[in-house]
Amino acid sequence: MGEYLLLPKQRLQQITISALLHDIGMLKIPAEILEKEGKLDESETQLMRSHTVYGYKMLVNDLFYTDEIGKSAMQHHERWDGNGYPGKLSGTNIDLGARIISVADAFEAMVSAKSYRASMVGYAAMKNLLADNARRFDPDIIKAFIASMGIYPIGSIVLMNNAIIARVIESNPQAPLRPKVRVLIDEFARAYTRNSGEIIDLTKNRTLFIARAINPAEYKE
């Protein structure tokens, strides 16, 4: 996203460090809160939310990173509409790095399996982000994310309109709905292994298009 936004190299490095360490403040949260099953009460919720401030202090005071790195980590739970935490900041008052991390963090959470639910298909996670309507996320960062990742993120399993099943191997920022794919099962039900299937560039083959995304579990079956 940062590269798509043409951010300078130093800023990209700062955001990368902050992204890797954005939840470091969780080390200060008691295990009984982190591991609690069921809903947190109000005091527990406030304690959990304090990980953002702890994170800033650890990054800046203990690890001697810059204030920019600390702010990006501290503000990654702020919301575009001002209903986030810890500072209830809104819009462009939120650090740009934090706005980028917020989108990436939300996507990662949706496509990762949890103890209480299965992982979400990348396409479905993209649809959720697009449906945000400037509540949680900066609309320009969402656009950058879609352009960077594509509507169908790399690795997505998709069903083509001619019954081919393929894996997305390269996104296309200019045409997010028409990535480059590699055939896994062709229209005659012939399976290909070890990346031996044909590569199709959907920007050049205009007769083919993606009908829908397929859950990887469904593909294995």
- pTM score: 0.83
Distance CA 160, CA 167 (A): 10
Q: Does residue 44 contact residue 33 with C-beta atoms inside 8 Å?
A: yes
**pLDDT, tens only, 164-202:** 999 999 988 888 889 999 999 999 999 998 899 999 999
Helix (H, G, I), strand (E, B) or coil at 184: strand
User: CA angle at residue 27 from 23 to 31, to 5 degrees?
Assistant: 115
Q: What pLDDT is stored for residue 114 in this prediction?
A: 65
* Strand ranges in 66-146 using DSSP code E only, listed in sequence order: none
Which sequence spans correspond to the domains of the chain?
Answer: 9-149, 157-220
Helix (H, G, I), strand (E, B) or coil at 207: coil
Number of other residues whose CB lies within 10 A of the CB of residue 163: 12
Tens digit of pLDDT at every position of the chain (221 positions): 999 999 999 999 999 999 999 999 999 999 999 999 889 999 999 999 999 999 999 999 999 999 999 999 999 999 999 999 999 999 999 999 999 999 999 999 988 866 555 667 888 888 899 899 899 999 999 999 988 888 888 888 999 999 999 999 998 888 888 999 999 999 999 999 889 999 999 999 999 999 998 887 777 76
> Which among 145, 152, 142 has a CA at the least distance from the CA of 121?
152
* Architecture of the domain delimited by 9-149: Orthogonal Bundle (1.10)
11 token code pair: 């800023």
Q: What pLDDT is stored for residue 51 in this prediction?
A: 98
Q: What pLDDT is stored for residue 116 in this prediction?
A: 52
Distance CA 55, CA 71 (A): 9
Question: Which H or E run includes 211?
Answer: strand 210-214
Q: What pLDDT is stored for residue 207 in this prediction?
A: 95
- Torsion angle, alpha carbons of 86, 89, 90, 95, to 10: -90
Residue with tokens 């894996």: 167
Q: Does residue 211 contact residue 160 with C-beta atoms inside 8 Å?
A: yes
Phi-psi region of 101 (alpha: psi -120 to 50; beta: other; left: phi over 0): alpha
Q: How many residues does the chain have?
A: 221
Distance CA 98, CA 83 (A): 15
